Amino acid sequence: MIRRTLILLSQCFYRKNITFLDSIQQEKQLPFHYSYLVNFSSFSSNEILLNKLENAIKQNQLSEACEVFADFKRLHGFPSNLIISKLITQLSYSFDSYWLKKGYDLVLLIYKQKSHLLCYDFLAKLAISLARDQVPIHASTVLRIMLELGKFPTRDVWKTTFIHMVKTETGTYLVSDLLVEICDCFMHHMEEYGVKNSKHLKMIKPDTMIFNIVLEACVRFKSTLRAEQIIELMAVVGVVADASTIVLIAQIHEMNGQRDELKKLKCYIDRAPARLLRHYRQFYDSLLSLHFKFDDIDAAVELVLDMCKHQGSSFFSGGFTSNDRKDLPKTYLIPIGSCNLKTELRLQIEPELLQKDYVLSVGSHPELATFLGGRLFPSNKALAKVIHGYRKHGKIGDLSKTIVSIQKGLGVMQKPGLSSDMLGSCIQIRWLETSHDILDDMELAGTPMDFEAYLSLLSAYCKENMMKEAKTLIKQMRKRGWLQDLSDEDVVSGSFLEKCCLPFLDENSVIVVEKSGLAESLIRELKEGENAIPSLIYEINTSIYFFCKGNMMDDALRTYQRMQEREIQPTVQTFTHLINGYSKLKMYREITILWGEIKRKLDSGDLTSNRDLHEMLLWNFIRGGYFERVLEVLDYMKRNGMYIDKWKYKSEFMKFHKYLYRSLKEEQTKTEAQRKRLEHVRAFRKWVGID
């Protein structure tokens, strides 16, 4: 027996990956007093494999290191924290996606079997590396493991991983979910520890820059409904919104059609110093855009005139001198939602605060406001919308007054002939009556237009064979001292107009004038206006939003029903306002009824699938326990190729329904309804990977 044992012992030194323990276990008849040899062999193989593993890690031989690690775990379990840390750190430093995936798989294995072996340092390094390698799902999982284990990443880790993750749409969705989870952890610890443990709370509280990174990504990928929830989260956590945040909020409210929210901000932004004017161009652009969307031409013109007439060292000073500015508070509290609510959320803003170390691109480029020479001006697109808006409402007289006011406001910096440019644009698109009205109004205002402007309109009348209108215009021109030596017939003759070098009709009988940016913008505005959302929808959505924020769901529902009676198609914003309102009151059954209406709209093509909307429905249906509806929403999301964050929904399920039907068998169900519900719950548990 001793001879056989020695033979087995010798084999472990010559056969690769065969330890003495493996060999001796094959022998069933060894006496008990040989057990010390087993312990000796096990100890030896432990040391040999550990040395081999450490050497492979030091020499960056990742393939061999992973093989030896697998052998060691199979024989002895997990090695020490130090060895695991070295291996995962080395895998994290690799630029090869294959080894990063190996590191991620190893973390998952340890997390499932011995999570206490996971350390902060290598988890943070791995999360950053995965995010940099554009594997946002894996990066988010590592970060979530850190949160679950209480190993809270520093703000620098959050910022670094977030900056890489938000480069993709899926990464942006995950980052927004992670931010919500970070804030939940912060609020939980604040309740648990209170203000006494301020250092600990400060470590896990997200700062303004983290919120800006997420909001900017939401704007870029048009996840604005989710962004609206992030804004409310800022108010709950107590994070101050800086200048970049305010601009992002403006873009979010613009896309969601929430003009009143921007109006609340405007008086504070008007006080911002001149050095920030370039930065706030997007804010005024968004507000101006909403005025036009609401078809509020008077409010739009008022803002345009403000942009034109103010100049100097401070912009929109609101009557404040430089000495007064010193006494103004730097931080303000802005209500979110209805100003009349006792339980309203209030967002802290600091309009003059701008991060020095990192400035965001703050979304899209402004289209309605331009910046030149330290001042803001309306763009050609904005002026085109003004012209179109006044003409649509039959307020040409007001348009002429606006032209005069804009020219006075622009002063020496105005481009030459703004009034002539406007007139030429109207002529080009055959608004000849409007053009004539502008000429008349400019005369009455004491700022008549020049000779060329009158001749342009006269040429257009002649080419359209509108001789009655042409002769009326000739009389006006004679009153101003022009065309005194010519008869009407001489004036309208082609030879006279040719001598004056005036434009003629092209082959398609369209008035040809020198094309300007304003004329092209006006033509585009007319085309876009045909497909624009009616302003009434914005007004109705604003009312529904107000009622839902005030928990006045009966009023909100009546407004929605009137919308249906008038055959006005609801938008995504309409339904999200209603869902949010019901959700706050935990009226989940009413949301299921609303889901039926949403499904009909989706199937008929009257409503476009929206990921934020589907996510809101999923979240509420899981909380309410409507798992048949959960599966329906999941089906719509899958059909539209939308990424679904299983971790989030698994966590929600475990929080509210951890033991739901856990031990109930199908044959134990008492009713058909209970059997079906059991089936739906099982299907969901299987989908998120609980069972």
pLDDT in tens, 463-497: 888 988 888 998 888 888 888 777 877 777 766 66
> With bands split at pLDDT 50, 70 and 90, how would you rate the model's confidence at 504?
very low
CA dist list (Å): 233 to 238, 250, 320, 328:
8, 16, 33, 27
Q: Which of 23-27, 36-40, 303-307, 312-316 has the highest mean pLDDT?
A: 303-307
Asked if 303 and 287 count as a contact pair (C-beta separation under 8 A), the reply is yes
CA 490/CA 499 separation, integer angstroms: 12
Q: Which residue bears the tokens 């969307």? A: 293
Residue type, 312: G
Q: Which residue has the higher pLDDT, 49 or 35?
A: 49
Distance set, CA 348 to CA 114, 211, 233, 573 (Å): 43, 13, 12, 25
This prediction's pTM: 0.86
pLDDT in tens, 229-258: 999 999 999 999 999 999 999 999 999 999
Q: How high is the pLDDT of residue 197?
A: 61
Give the C-alpha separation, 68 to 195, whole Å: 49
Tokens found for residue 215: 């909001």
Q: Quick check: 308 pLDDT over 60?
A: yes
The whole-number pLDDT of residue 237 equals 92
Helices H / strands E in the chain, number of each? 35, 4
- Alpha-carbon span 671 to 54, nearest angstrom: 61
pLDDT band at 357 (very low <50, low <70, confident <90, very high): low
Q: Which residues lie across from 505 on neighbouring strands?
A: 511
Indicate the CATH number of 540-688 among 1.10.260.40, 1.25.40.10, 3.40.50.1360, 3.40.50.1220: 1.25.40.10
Q: Can you tell me the distance from the alpha carbon of 262 to that of 253, in angstroms, rounded to the nearest whole number?
A: 7
Q: What is the dihedral of CA 618, 621, 624, 626, to 10 degrees?
A: -140
Query: What pLDDT is recorded for position 364?
Result: 57
Q: Is the CB of residue 451 less than 8 Å from the CB of residue 423?
A: no
Quick check: 544 and 570 in contact, CB under 8 A? no
Q: Where are the domains of the chain?
A: 379-529, 540-688
Residue-level pLDDT at 126? 97
